[in-house]
Structure 1
């Protein structure tokens, strides 16, 4: 009978996460594509084979998750029965690998959205098959990033070789890497939405293919940010350099880095919504390409805020330089900062909704460009509140100043501030919906702009509530008073 240690338990949770989360992504993606395929095959039976090809595209994420899960089971002796005890450090490393492969597997949802459009386009025109497949495989990259990071963690932590070298600090850093690249993989949903629009446009107008590809790759940047942070963490914590750090505080801070860049990457969904509208507008009016790109890149700012906070955490906690003495309290404050800016980054979805309406309005009336931009930037404030709280937390807990005097309890309590402003930032999604309607109303009646702006800013109050509570918490736990 296998003796279950805490380390083994963590590793098995990692295996379950790898195959389970990836199965969710592939299951939904395959289901979306399959639903369209079933409808097409009912009226065009000869398209059955081509529809199956598209439906198979989102299956790869599930295979990646299965592969990583099996590697974890083999390396821990669950399969093969080596009987070696798995340390907590190795268990954390396996958990990080599982999160990387599993959560990034949700990218299959975006692939399913694109593949569904590919099936519909190919049903109408056989020549659309190749171009549609190109669009459909674009969201695969996020899953590949996750698989790459998972294998690097398993290999360099010594799990695959049977000679574990991980420390508890690098194990925690591995979880941070998994969060960074895994959560950033959700950007594929935005990419799938954009790719779906590209397939539809290129099917009707072949010459739009190149420009549609440009719009479709825009949401990829968030995934690249996640991969970048994961690689930096693996490098500077010694996971891949044979000089693993031993300070647990650095590992805790790495979790904050992963949450900051990973959660903020969800803003790519908003980018995908805007990009799809940009593709449609450019297909109708070529002059809309530049303006469509302007609207589409606006939700990028949330991801940049997340990347900025992740880099600040790495720099000022000593992860990069190695010459700073940090504490567990600072590590907890880093997590709070990551939660604040990361969750607030979801505001990019609201911005994308508003931007898509702005693109449509500008395509109809060129004079609406400036007014539409005003409405589109309104949901940005929630992200700014999240960034502000993150910086305040890093400044007044001593992370930035290097004068860390807070206790671990205070660091843990600071999570309340991050959660308050972060979750309240999701109010921007509602704000984006109102702003989109405001743009449409202003397009029809110019005098409606003022009243529409009043409606659009109403949802702002809830974000202000979150900011207020975040600041009161910081006051209450003594961050501002020392």
Structure 2
């Protein structure tokens, strides 16, 4: 036993030496304090408290303080910052998890970890989303309610026995869009803690997603303008029971669907981001950009409700004259909604692929940022091309009355009514090319250089903006529908005039396909050096802007073509001169095409 005592003493001494030589951790209660500014005041708190409160933010200065002179080592991303002394001041320039070592001597080292957030920028970006949601939708509801109110005031002034209760109901229809926008704005503000007096430090990606939600419900809220147009007609037709109240209500609520689509996408984005009280999620910047792409797709295409309102208004008035026109009127009114349905599909595909639809499994890695930019390109393509619904509504509105005439061919009239649909098909085609090329239809998105994402935006701008030529085509097609009923022999020539404004979109489609092929989004791999991808992407945006906006000359061409149809219907010998006048506007689209091709040649794509 006596022999064991020295051995036990020796073991105890070795154990004590081992414990003393071990690095100490913050969990043992030893930690530095942190000195930093909050709202202009200097505060000093323990590191653990600063970390748990999320007070570490990028771009701010922090001074770590120790009770004696030590060696400091701050590590992040494989890089180290070092210093000596009792204080260590640094500027945190990137978000993420940092490691801080405090070395007192050769045997004593303390190791701490803390998380640096992105600061309040994400929260303030989210406020922009809230503003867009309520602001844009308020414009739509304000104009729509104003149009309806004007019809109501006219009805009251002309007939003291007017049914004021019905007027109020019709005027209430366009108000719902502003309610949707107000609801989304409140959800966003609650999600970032704006009502608590302190905006939470949420990731920038969350702020971008909130902007996407605001764009979706805000722009789609402009559908209230179309709803106001048809509701105003409903007031006039129901005052003397020329049409049943129920049928007028059916026509009046048709343009509401686009606002509901926009609300749906906004809710899906916010739910996936954790703004419904489940805790804000953390995902990459690319996912936030993808949310903006989905919002653009649904929000911009929501303006098709203006065209639907025009068609439904004509259908409501036609049904008041002839109750048998109700069924055909419904068909013509629904046609203008189809572009929004295609945009809804693309938006859901984007949200599903990036993880926002389920709120988990968010896209990350090298592919995320590229996919976010590509999603914006797809959203621009199908969103702006979806504005062809306004042209569809104009053509359908004229077609309703044409179909009421005796011996009118419903089939021929339907041809004119659906002509402006081709532009949204072009936009959908380019959007599918982008989404498929980015791998969003598969299980794993593809990783391309950032420049390829910019090129996708260029292609989307080209086909999307030029798609609004459908407004001009709708004007021409509406005139063609009326002319073909008045003079059946004018059908073929009217088709020719109605097709003219579509050529601008064909030019844009060609440019879009050239861009997508060059950057590998049509398959076949990247056709340009990776080092040139960024420059090609920027140049592609320039080419898209050139042909996209120049293509809007098709609106003017449609106006001329509509008058040309009327001219040769009255005097057949005026066909040639009318055609010459109608093609004049084509010149400016050719200018845009020429510049776009020269730009593509300059960047080595064409």
TM-score (norm 1): 0.97
Deviations 1:297-353 (A, max 9, x none): 110000001011001001112232325321210000000000000001011001000
In the alignment, structure 1 residue 172 sits paired with structure 2 residue 289: yes
Look up the match of 1:191: 308
In the alignment, structure 1 residue 55 sits paired with structure 2 residue 171: yes
Aligned to 2:259, what secondary structure does the other structure show?
A: helix
Once the 2 structures are TM-superposed, how far is the Cα of residue 294 of structure 1 from its aligned partner?
A: 0.7
Larger Rg: 2
In the alignment, structure 1 residue 419 sits paired with structure 2 residue 542: no
**How do residues 253-272 of structure 1 correspond to structure 2 at under 5 angstroms?**
253-272=374-393
In the alignment, structure 1 residue 243 sits paired with structure 2 residue 366: no
Aligned to 2:222, what secondary structure does the other structure show?
A: helix
In the alignment, structure 1 residue 154 sits paired with structure 2 residue 270: yes
Look up the match of 1:441: 567
Structure 1 distance, partners of 2:280, 2:562, is: 56
**How do residues 60-71 of structure 1 correspond to structure 2 at under 5 angstroms?**
60-71=176-187
Aligned to 1:462, what secondary structure does the other structure show?
A: helix
Deviations 1:152-178 (A, max 9, x none): 110012222214143211111110010
Look up the match of 1:18: 133
**Paired residues of 2:243 and 2:319 also in contact (CA < 8 A):** no
**Paired residues of 2:202 and 2:280 also in contact (CA < 8 A):** no
Is the strand fraction higher in 1 or 2? 2
Look up the match of 1:381: 503
| Greater RCO, CA 8 A, separation 6+ | 1
Look up the match of 2:436: 315
**How do residues 433-472 of structure 1 correspond to structure 2 at under 5 angstroms?**
433-472=559-598
Look up the match of 1:113: 229
In structure 1, the gaps of 5 or more residues are none
**Paired residues of 2:123 and 2:200 also in contact (CA < 8 A):** no
Deviations 1:423-481 (A, max 9, x none): 0111001100111111111111112111111111110000000000011111112223x
Aligned to 1:378, what secondary structure does the other structure show?
A: helix
Change (3 A) 1:261 1:61: same
Structure 2 distance, partners of 1:331, 1:370, is: 43
Post-superposition, which runs of at least 4 consecutive aligned residues in structure 1 deviate over 6 A? 1-4
Quick check: 116-125 or 18-27, which moved more?
116-125
TM-score (norm 2): 0.77
In the alignment, structure 1 residue 28 sits paired with structure 2 residue 28: no
RMSD between aligned residues: 1.5
- Given candidates 252, 273, 276, the residue that maps to 2:373 is 252
Change (3 A) 1:459 1:126: closer
In the alignment, structure 1 residue 39 sits paired with structure 2 residue 154: yes
In structure 2, the gaps of 5 or more residues are 1-37, 40-54, 56-118
Once the 2 structures are TM-superposed, how far is the Cα of residue 196 of structure 1 from its aligned partner?
A: 0.4
Once the 2 structures are TM-superposed, how far is the Cα of residue 80 of structure 1 from its aligned partner?
A: 3.3
Deviations 1:230-250 (A, max 9, x none): 001011122124211122111
Structure 2 distance, partners of 1:424, 1:264, is: 15
Quick check: 301-310 or 396-405, which moved more?
396-405
